[in-house]
Amino acid sequence: AQSVAQPEDQVNVAEGNPLTVKCTYSVSGNPYLFWYVQYPNRGLQFLLKYITGDNLVKGSYGFEAEFNKSQTSFHLKKPSALVSDSALYFCAVREGMDSNYQLIWGAGTKLIIKP
Amino acid sequence: NAGVMQNPRHLVRRRGQEARLRCSPMKGHSHVYWYRQLPEEGLKFMVYLQKENIIDESGMPKERFSAEFPKEGPSILRIQQVVRGDSAAYFCASSPSGLPAYGYTFGSGTRLTVV
């Protein structure tokens, strides 16, 4: 069965430090991977996605994520955190098959950036 | 391009009343997905619709919940005889295609409070 795990409920980082939000997945075929961010009382905003090609994907707001097939991971990273990055981050996966439309979502990781 | 529009943003209903949540997808998008988010939790898939068709309603409770996406007009998520446990944020997302390469565009959500 397809699944996504975000092992940390919350990540605390000091402003200016690098941040990592972890995501691992399980699918039977090729994964299509996504990161979304949710600010308080708002909908989800697309950050980046991996479909194929370069394992390092760059997205919005200076975020990037690295696809690691052997570790089945797609961790979200940023070299230098900003207080405004504080939000809820969701990882999602769908199998790379034409007939499979559903995104499977992780439970979310709350990122807190302290000044 | 107005994005995905959901209304109302906030909805208060008494127990036993009906709640109607509306979602207008992005222009050119014919696929609509409804999700529910409980406080401090991730997204739970409810239903996937294309124009005039329900493709997958496996996440919908068997009773009181229904969804439609008519040929003209927005998609509607209807909850009859609401109970306190229905209090949640309901998000709609749309995509131009059901193919896996596309992520979703989300609306800002409707926050339903049942009193």
Query: B106 contacts in A (CB within 8 Å)?
Result: 36, 43-45
Tell me the pLDDT band of A89, cut-offs 50, 70 and 90.
very high
Query: A108 contacts in B (CB within 8 Å)?
Result: 41-42
pLDDT at B34 over 70: yes
pLDDT at B43 over 90: no
B43 contact A CB<8A: yes
pLDDT at B28: 85
Measured CA to CA, the distance from residue A105 to residue B8 in angstroms comes to 25
pLDDT at B1 over 70: no
B98 contact A CB<8A: yes
Of A41, A95, A103, the CB nearest to B104: A103
Tell me the pLDDT band of A27, cut-offs 50, 70 and 90.
confident
Query: B4 contacts in A (CB within 8 Å)?
Result: 43
Is A101–B4 a contact, with Cβ atoms under 8 angstroms apart?
no
In chain B, the residue whose alpha carbon lies closest to the alpha carbon of A43 is B108
Inter-chain contacts counted by CB atoms under 8 A, chains A and B: 57
Task: Using a pLDDT cut of 90, give the percent of chain B over it.
Answer: 67
Mean pLDDT of chain A: 91
pLDDT at A85 over 60: yes
Q: Which of A19-33, A40-54, B57-71 bottoms out in mean pLDDT, i.e. has the lowest?
A: A40-54
Mind listing the pLDDT tens digit for each residue in A53-79? Answer: 899 999 999 999 999 999 999 999 999
Query: B43 contacts in A (CB within 8 Å)?
Result: 44, 90, 105
Q: Is B58 left (phi over 0), alpha (psi -120 to 50) or beta?
A: alpha
Mind listing the pLDDT tens digit for each residue in B49-105? Answer: 998 899 989 899 989 999 999 988 999 999 999 999 999 999 999 988 766 566 788
pLDDT at A98: 54
Tell me the pLDDT band of B32, cut-offs 50, 70 and 90.
very high
Is A42–B109 a contact, with Cβ atoms under 8 angstroms apart?
yes
If one counts every other C-beta atom within 10 angstroms of the C-beta of residue A103, the result is 24
Is B100–A36 a contact, with Cβ atoms under 8 angstroms apart?
no
pLDDT at A102: 73
Which residue has 């089945």 as its token pair? A72
In chain B, the residue whose alpha carbon lies closest to the alpha carbon of A94 is B100
Q: What is the DSSP letter of B25?
A: P
**Long-range contacts of the stretch B39-42 (C-beta < 8 A, 24+):** B39/B88, B41/A107, B41/A108, B42/A90, B42/A105, B42/A106, B42/A107, B42/A108
